[in-house]
Chains A and B, each alone.
Chain A
Amino acid sequence: MAIAPPITDLEQLKTHPALAALLDWNPGAIQGVKFDRDEMTIVVDRTHIREACALLRDHAEFPFEFLSDVTCVDWYPSEPRFEVIYHLLSISKKERVRLKVRLDGSSPVVESITAVWPAANYFEREVFDLFGVRFTGHPYLRRILMPEDWEGNPLRKDYPVEGYR
């Protein structure tokens, strides 16, 4: 079975409920879209992620009320280096959407969404722990999986798989 090529044209995709809601609110906050393998990805500007999440959660007709996951991908050595990824689920409409934020490698900082979903608490701590991405406004940003005194961020691509000996 051949895979259909991804659609990245904003005009073709603007009927998607999550994208339509975000376009209504602030078209400038959207940096890119992708529809690939039946999954919708919206790249949101770094400074707008909390508002975008709150907007999608509280949307009247098509609410994405459930935060499935927050994670991160390190694209070292290219820039912007980090992608923080949010998977949202609409319980009522059975639909998923993926939000992405791109961050520079020099100072990866993004606003925390714990105020929108308390569920983000552990997920963001995990990303902070393993990637070193800082979340401003997080109530308790400490290491969660690695020991407190650990040096480095193990899931970064420049961190060796065997660790430092």
Chain B
Amino acid sequence: MAHLTPTPVIEPNQDRTMILNMGPQHPSTHGVLRVILEIDGETVVRIMPDIGYLHTGIEKTCEAKFYQQVVPLTDRIDYLCPLTNNLCYALAVEKLLGLEIPPKAQWLRVLLNELTRINSHLVWLGTHALDIGAMTVFLYCFREREDILRIFEMVSGQRMMTSYFRIGGIALEPPIGFFERVRDFAGRFPARVDEYENLLTGNPIWMMRTKGVAKLSAEDAVALGASGPTLRGSGVDLDLRRDMPYSGYENFKFKVPLGAEGDVFDRYMCRVAELRESIDIVRQALDGMPEGPIKANAPKVVLPDREKMKTEMEALIYHFKIITEGFTVPAGEVYQAVESPRGEMGYYVVSDGTAKPYRVHMRAACLANLQTLPTMCEGRLIADVVAAIGSIDIVLGEIDR
């Protein structure tokens, strides 16, 4: 296949080409991605991403932890969307256990997930524009991101490593004033998206740097395993929230924005449109938020409330047992995928019937998306490589795990 480019970059095969290292310490590689380029003047002949600089062995560490102790590890995989990872892991273990999650917990999960998506897309938009040379957008995006991080801090006590979703529900009731604050943000945000679009969409410099750059055909995108906006920018209609709903997404109405050309501009437009859809989902979640408990009725799995522990013997015993021994999960295997801001985030959890997972594997959307880079960039200019890397929206923590 033509677009399969494993690209062992060897020594320059002619006098014309040279090897250039980009990264791992390069501002436009969003962390520690190293890209090895073979260039002929300004034109890229071959390109090979080199990853692994951030490998921390999270999958191995998970095997030595109790099920509930894995939750904080999932935050650290993709540090821009911790709640999406919390959700995906929690859903996988809940599926293994056969737990039923009360509606209020599901709706809160959806609400916070969409805020996470906005948060992640804002970081992407700011840094992507910064890479291409539009500095202002970065400052605008981080202004709104700060609001979202404050909301996260309010609800979970942490700005980034939230660990707010637990197996069987969520950690705590949201504090007083939380919903008003989110509603306030949701009211302000659409106008802010207009601001970003005023700065970029239609801006001639932005158009020149993105239109027709780093094209990816729909066929190639599917064959290379791309997902999320990278796939939808090429016109493939796949959004797991709508197509294989989880955590109550079937109750929400939203559009799935699609691109046509598969260039950097289309991927940009997809994500900007997703910002608007996400804030719409947040509003729907606020309006229809059901009442009721936020934890499943499973005393052997879910930690009891503090009040109950002080008054009920059983609650204290269960609490002690969950903390010291963990809880056992029936043997089996589950693959749970959710639509993360970057694409299909999947958790494959294997249980052997003990209190520790036998195997936890994370399907990283970015790892597959990164494989599209050679197809996008070969035969184009070096400057376009920067635009292409930005348009994939890579997070190296997720790729290397």
> A residues engaging B (CB < 8 A)?
1-3, 6, 36-37, 39, 41, 65-69, 71, 73-74, 85, 87, 89, 91, 94, 96, 98, 114-115, 117-123, 126, 130, 139-140, 143-147, 154-155, 159, 161
Contacts and interface: CB of A to CB of B under 8 A. Distances in A.
Contacts of B243: 94
A140 B224 contact: no
A47 B236 CA distance: 33
B64 interface: yes
Contacts of B222: 65-66, 91
Interface stretch (B78-86, B137-145, B343-351): B343-351
B350 A73 contact: yes
B223 interface: yes
A144 B368 CA distance: 13
A130 B7 CA distance: 21
B361 A71 contact: yes
Given A1-B100, A117-B225, A118-B225, 4 more contacts: A36-B332, A68-B335, A87-B346, A87-B363
Given A68-B346, A85-B348, A118 B223 contact: yes
A94 B244 CA distance: 7
Contacts of A155: 59-60
B334 A122 contact: no
Contacts, number: 112
Given A68-B346, A121-B371, A145-B55, A2 B332 contact: no
A86 to B, nearest CB: 11
A91 B256 CA distance: 15
B295 to A, nearest CB: 15
A2 B330 CA distance: 11
A1 B98 contact: yes
B51 A145 contact: yes
B1 A161 contact: no
Contacts of A2: 98
Contacts of B367: 122-123, 126
A163 to B, nearest CB: 8
Contact of A139 (B4, B223, B236): B4
Contact of A119 (B6, B60, B223, B400): B223
A140 B225 CA distance: 18
B60 A96 contact: no
Contacts of A91: 222, 236-238
B236 A161 contact: no
A122 B346 CA distance: 16
A118 B4 CA distance: 6
A98 B336 CA distance: 12
Contact of A98 (B55, B97, B335): B335
B202 interface: no
A115 B1 contact: yes
Given A3-B330, A87-B363, A119-B371, A140 B8 contact: yes
B337 interface: yes
Interface string B55-78: 101011101100000000000000
A69 B335 contact: yes
Contact of B3 (A74, A115, A118): A118
Contact of B96 (A37, A71, A74): A37
B200 to A, nearest CB: 30
Given A140-B8, A144-B52, A69 B223 contact: no
Given A87-B363, A161-B64, A122 B52 contact: no
